């Protein structure tokens, strides 16, 4: 099997083909930016043909918008589009150099996917996850039944992209206990080739982005639930006072209230620190099915 040579490992040049698992908003964004900016061929995998069709339709729309705004020529858009293919068979990732998994945050689903990737992908391939809250060490451990064999687990890393991927520059890269330095270097280099700005963090609950962002959102919901301020006052002071594009309650709706709650639960359970206690109102809204933008109702109506 081909190995990344040490002289070039800091560069993404040896990554020619990417597999992306999950054709949702994150996976599609990653696939499109990789094809467009890093110039790699991309195989997008999903179990649902309908999700693949929807994702490709969204990619076409984004490329057409970039052409209409003269950010891309038609030729550049066509070239990026020609690099994207899609499939419902994960076995089609048998020749990729790098994989990024972006499926829902269900631990067992991710563990099963990584066990399969370890079997299917070439022995040099980097196996990355876009998880926002699951331990990278646990995901890496799922690649083998023999923990002393790190041939696959040392190639597992997290590339945590921010939403929407085509817009946000930041990506946090997280190493698990098993991740090799070469894997980390290659992941950083590849994300830079995608035009992203990277931060590196430890495998700790919430990593960096959500460790900071989710308690901020949670505190905003607690301010609402305890009557410190109403919705518009809370969002207005943060939006107009700290120059962020959205206030915390609008951002919670954008991220999804179920996702916010799930991440707060991870922070609370894994640290045992009461400062991460999820807001009661946040939990109730999730119980009501008011999940934010995606369900048509959250702190705002859509």
Cite the active site residues: 132, 160, 172, 210
Whether 110 has a binding-site annotation, put simply, is yes
Instruction: Identify the residue whose tokens are 């597999």.
Output: 19
- Per-residue x/- marks for ligand CAA, 150-189, CB under 6 A? ------------xxx-xxx---------------------
Site for ligand CAA in 207-226 (CB under 6 A): 209-210, 213
Count of residues engaged in binding ligand CAA, rule: CB under 6 A:
20
Q: How far is the CB of 270 from ligand CAA (least distance, A)?
A: 16
Cβ nearer to ligand CAA, comparing 93 with 166: 166
Query: Could you give phi then psi for residue 43, rounded to 5 degrees?
Result: -110, 115
Cα-Cα-Cα-Cα torsion 134, 34, 43, 65, nearest 10 degrees, comes to: 110
Residue 289 CB contacts under 8 Å (≥ 6 apart), including other chains: 295
Whether 55 has a binding-site annotation, put simply, is no
Residue 286 CB contacts under 8 Å (≥ 6 apart), including other chains: 257, 258, 261
Q: How far is the CB of 134 from ligand CAA (least distance, A)?
A: 11
Site for ligand CAA in 75-134 (CB under 6 A): 132
Cβ nearer to ligand CAA, comparing 238 with 251: 251
Q: How far is the CB of 3 from ligand CAA (least distance, A)?
A: 32
The pairing of beta strand 197-201 with beta strand 170-175? parallel
Whether 178 has a binding-site annotation, put simply, is no
Residue 249 CB contacts under 8 Å (≥ 6 apart), including other chains: 217, 220, 221, 224, 231, 234, 235, 299, 300
**Rounded CA gap, 123 and 191, in Å?**
21
Distance of CA 81 to the CA centre of its chain: 21
- Decide if 135 contacts 203 (C-beta within 8 A): yes
**Rounded CA gap, 191 and 292, in Å?**
29
Cβ nearer to ligand CAA, comparing 167 with 197: 167
Whether 24 has a binding-site annotation, put simply, is yes
Whether 240 has a binding-site annotation, put simply, is no
Cβ nearer to ligand CAA, comparing 241 with 245: 245
Binding status of residue 255 toward ligand CAA by CB under 6 A: yes
Cα diameter, the chain: 61
Q: How far is the CB of 227 from ligand CAA (least distance, A)?
A: 26
Site for ligand CAA in 18-37 (CB under 6 A): 25, 29
**Rounded CA gap, 90 and 117, in Å?**
8
**Rounded CA gap, 236 and 191, in Å?**
34
What DSSP character marks residue 282? H
- Which residues make up each annotated binding site? 22-27, 46, 105, 110, 132, 163, 294
Residue set of the binding site for NAD(+): 22-27, 46, 105, 110, 132, 163, 294
Footprint of ligand CAA (CB under 6 A): 25, 29, 62, 65, 69, 132, 162-164, 166-168, 209-210, 213, 245-246, 251, 255, 259
């Amino acid at each position: 099997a081909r190995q990344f040579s040490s002289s070039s490992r800091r560069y993404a040049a040896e990554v020619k083909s990417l597999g992306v698992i999950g054709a949702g908003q994150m996976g599609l964004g990653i696939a499109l930016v990789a094809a467009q900016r890093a110039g790699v061929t991309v195989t997008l995998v999903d179990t649902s043909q309908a999700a693949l069709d929807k994702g490709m339709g969204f990619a076409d729309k984004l490329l057409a918008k970039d052409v209409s705004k003269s950010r891309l020529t038609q030729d550049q858009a066509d070239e990026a589009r020609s690099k994207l293919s899609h499939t419902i068979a994960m076995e089609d990732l048998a020749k990729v150099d790098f994989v990024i998994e972006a499926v829902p945050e269900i631990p067992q689903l991710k563990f099963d996917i990584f066990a399969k990737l370890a079997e299917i992908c070439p022995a040099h391939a980097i196996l990355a996850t876009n998880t926002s809250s699951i331990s990278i060490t646990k995901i890496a451990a799922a690649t083998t039944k023999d923990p002393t064999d790190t041939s696959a687990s040392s190639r597992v890393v997290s590339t945590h992209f921010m939403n929407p991927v085509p817009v946000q520059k930041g990506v946090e890269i997280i190493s698990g206990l098993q991740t090799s330095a070469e894997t980390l270097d290659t992941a950083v280099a590849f994300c830079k080739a995608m035009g992203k700005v990277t931060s590196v963090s430890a495998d700790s609950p919430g990593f960096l982005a959500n460790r900071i962002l989710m308690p901020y959102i949670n505190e905003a919901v607690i301010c609402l639930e305890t009557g410190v301020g109403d919705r518009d006052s809370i969002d207005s002071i943060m939006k107009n006072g700290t120059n962020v594009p959205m206030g915390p309650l609008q951002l919670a709706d954008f991220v999804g209230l179920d996702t916010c709650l799930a991440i707060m639960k991870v922070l609370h359970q894994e640290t045992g620190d009461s400062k991460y206690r999820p807001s009661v109102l946040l939990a109730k809204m999730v119980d009501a099915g008011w999940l934010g933008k995606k369900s048509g109702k959250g702190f705002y109506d859509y």
